[in-house]
């Protein structure tokens, strides 16, 4: 339990709207000092924001509170999650904490959130303001905010530069230690206090990483990443494409594909994924449906007006057969509401109806404004039903703005494997298939990785 030391949250300081640069620096230096101690204990807070920072104006003491989602790990692997299940507070969350940057979450996530907190404390406004979760995530990943000194002319550009460095999209471009932040803040405080002009200030020159951090960049995969991005660019122009990523287990197929998260988010697209399991081959569509369930969760996190728009589009596309998709994706009902039951049909006809409705359903989301990427992993274990559906999608000329990526172990898919037979048949029918086969890293790539870490 936090002892009561007579302070108020920074929210109250922000609401008072009367903080000057000197007072800001005093508070910011104390916050940085507190964060130094937190990180020294190998703790990543993951929810730095004004309401979690208590400041006593009388004695200048600062305390950071609410360690409910903090971590003792050096890093965590964040995967793409439902926006309503993200850890942290969306207006302050770091790009990597959204799960859409293909980067681990480490202590530097706190620096991004700290930057937003400083921004709000100094200017009185958040850098990104929206009630739409998807819009906020897009802003954190792809939008550069106005520098604070452009909002208020009284703000020293050097302080503005510190805040902008804290809010860098890539962790490598942020400060690498809380001590480095404190050093720069103290430099600015001394200069302002003594009325010394700050010239040619470069943030981070007093920053030295206190930890050995393994680089999260992908090395030796430039060609493969370029091919992935090219395929995505093609579907953004209205095409539909299939890409296969094949190789041995552990070669890096999945993490390579995850590099698409950022460009997809920048285009306000959807990236959904599913992973097949050997023991679930007897359950038709399980992995595919799970991927689209995550898409519906993303829709449900949007504003009411956005959800209403999706509702009209979906009902128009699926018509009287909307209940078919609710039966397979129950999460859809809160979007489109309860739907009348469909007529019972013989098995074959029911399958045809399901496949048509599913295709119409996908067509709603795969659009010019929201290109859709479907990534299916470990496809060597794909079930026959899903394979049949994928064949149907790829032979359907009405589907556009849609990229399907299949990753699989080529040592487990010989020429007689159902996947191999399907791909060969699709080629004969004129379906364009791009293929990536990542190999082992060469010496130069390994050396670059070591030098970057």
**Tens digits of residue pLDDT in 23-45:** 999 999 999 999 999 999 999 99
Cα 105 from Cα 213, distance rounded (Å): 12
Q: Do 410 and 352 fall into the same domain?
A: yes
Examine the domain organization and report whether 153 and 292 are in the same domain.
Answer: no
Q: Give the closest residue to 181 by CA, choosing from 241, 236, 112.
A: 112
Domain-located, residue 60: yes
Q: Is residue 209 part of a domain?
A: no
Q: Is 199 within the bounds of a domain? A: no
Copy the structure tokens of residue 433. Answer: 């298939």
- The answer on 435 and 286 residing in a single domain is yes
123 with 229, same domain?
A: no
Residues 39 and 136 in one domain: yes
Q: What is the model's pLDDT at position 124?
A: 93
Residue 96: inside a domain: yes
Query: Which is nearest to 326 in space by CA: 313, 339, 314, 310?
Result: 339
The pTM of this model reads: 0.75
Let me know: does 321 contact 338? Beta carbons within 8 Å. Answer: no
Is there a domain that residue 216 lies in? no
pLDDT in tens for each of the 453 residues of the chain?
455 566 789 988 888 777 899 999 999 999 999 999 999 999 999 999 999 999 988 888 899 998 888 887 555 554 444 444 567 789 999 999 988 776 788 999 999 999 999 999 999 999 999 888 888 998 999 899 999 999 999 999 999 999 999 999 999 899 999 999 999 999 999 999 999 999 999 999 988 776 656 555 665 678 898 999 999 999 999 999 999 999 988 878 888 898 898 899 889 999 999 999 988 788 899 999 999 999 999 899 888 999 999 999 999 999 999 999 999 999 999 999 999 999 999 999 999 999 999 999 999 999 999 999 999 999 999 999 999 999 999 999 999 999 999 999 999 999 999 999 999 999 999 898 999 987 665 555 555 545 565
Question: CA 2, 8, 11, 17: dihedral to nearest 10 degrees?
Answer: -160
51 plus 163 within the same structural domain = yes
Say if CB 359 and CB 393 are below 8 A apart.
yes
In whole angstroms, give the CA distance from residue 444 to residue 451.
11
Number of domain units in the chain: 2
Q: What was the pLDDT predicted at 306?
A: 92
- Round to whole Å and give the CA distance between 137 and 90: 8
* pLDDT score at 346: 95
- Note down the domain range covering 348: 222-444
Same domain, 155 and 63: yes
Give the count of beta carbons closer than 10 Å to the beta carbon of residue 316: 11
Are 95 and 172 contained in the same domain?
yes
Q: What whole-number distance in Å separates Cα of residue 84 and Cα of residue 71? A: 20
CA dist list (Å): 292 to 125, 136, 227: 36, 22, 25
User: Helix or strand or coil: residue 230?
Assistant: helix
CATH number of the structural domain spanning residue 416: 3.40.50.300
Asked whether residue 168 is assigned to any structural domain, the reply reads yes
Indicate whether 176 and 259 sit together in one domain: no
Give the torsion through C-alpha atoms of 33, 35, 36, 37, to 10 deg. Answer: 100
Q: Which of 174, 193, 212 is the last residue of a domain?
A: 193
Whether residue 215 is contained in a domain is answered as no
Is residue 448 classed as helix, strand or coil in its secondary structure? helix
Q: Whose structure tokens read 């010496």?
A: 443
Torsion region of 285: left, alpha or beta (phi above 0 gives left; psi -120 to 50 gives alpha): left
Rounded CA separation 327/147 (Å)? 49
Based on the fold, state whether residues 42 and 150 are members of the same structural domain: yes
Among the candidates 144, 172, 193, a domain finishes at 193
Find the CATH number of the domain harbouring 113: 1.10.510.10
Largest CA distance in the chain: 85
Residues 302, 108: Cα–Cα separation, whole Å? 28
Q: Based on the domain organization, do 156 and 268 belong to the same domain? A: no
Same domain, 162 and 230: no
| DSSP secondary structure code for residue 127 in this structure | S
Do the domain assignments include residue 212? no
The length of the chain in residues reads 453
- H or E segment and range at residue 24: helix 21-40
């Amino acid at each position: 339990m936090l002892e009561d030391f007579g302070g108020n949250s920074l929210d109250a300081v922000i609401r008072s709207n009367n903080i000057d640069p000197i007072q800001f620096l005093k508070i910011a230096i104390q916050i940085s000092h507190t964060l130094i101690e937190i990180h020294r204990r190998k703790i990543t807070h993951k929810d730095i924001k004004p309401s979690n920072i208590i400041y006593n104006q009388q004695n200048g003491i600062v305390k950071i509170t609410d360690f409910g989602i903090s971590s003792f790990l050096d890093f965590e692997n964040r995967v793409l999650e439902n926006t309503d299940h993200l850890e942290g507070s969306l207006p302050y969350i770091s790009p990597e904490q959204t799960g859409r940057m293909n980067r681990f979450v480490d202590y530097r996530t706190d620096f991004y959130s700290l930057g937003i907190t400083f921004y709000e404390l100094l200017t009185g406004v958040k850098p990104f303001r929206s009630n739409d979760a998807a819009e906020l995530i897009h802003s954190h990943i792809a939008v550069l905010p106005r520098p604070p000194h452009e909002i208020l002319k009284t703000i020293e550009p050097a302080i503005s530069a510190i805040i902008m460095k804290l809010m860098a999209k890539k962790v490598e471009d942020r400060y690498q230690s809380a001590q480095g932040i404190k050093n720069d803040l103290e430099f600015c405080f001394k200069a302002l206090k003594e009325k010394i002009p700050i010239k040619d200030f470069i943030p981070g020159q007093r920053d030295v990483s206190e930890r050995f951090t393994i680089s999260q960049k992908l090395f030796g995969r430039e060609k493969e990443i370029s091919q992935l991005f090219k395929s995505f660019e093609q579907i953004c122009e209205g095409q539909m494409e299939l890409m296969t990523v094949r190789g041995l287990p552990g070669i890096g197929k999945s993490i390579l594909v995850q590099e698409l998260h950022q460009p997809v988010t920048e285009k306000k697209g959807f990236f959904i994924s599913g992973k097949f399991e050997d023991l679930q081959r007897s359950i038709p569509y399980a992995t595919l449906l799970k991927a689209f369930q995550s898409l519906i969760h993303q829709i449900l996190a949007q504003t009411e007006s956005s959800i209403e728009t999706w509702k009209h589009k979906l009902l128009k596309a699926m018509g009287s057969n909307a209940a078919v998709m609710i039966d397979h994706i129950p999460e859809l009902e809160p979007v489109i509401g309860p739907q009348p039951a469909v007529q019972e049909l013989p098995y074959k006809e029911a399958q045809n109806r399901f496949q048509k409705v599913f295709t119409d359903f996908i067509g709603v989301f795969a659009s010019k404004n929201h290109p859709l990427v479907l990534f299916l992993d470990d496809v060597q274990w794909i079930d026959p039903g899903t394979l049949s559906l994928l064949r149907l999608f790829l032979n359907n000329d009405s589907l556009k703005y849609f990229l399907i990526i299949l990753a699989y172990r080529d040592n487990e898919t010989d020429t007689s494997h159902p996947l191999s037979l399907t791909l060969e048949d699709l080629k004969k029918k004129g379906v364009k298939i791009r293929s990536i086969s990542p190999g082992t890293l060469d010496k130069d790539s390994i050396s670059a990785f070591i030098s970057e870490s």
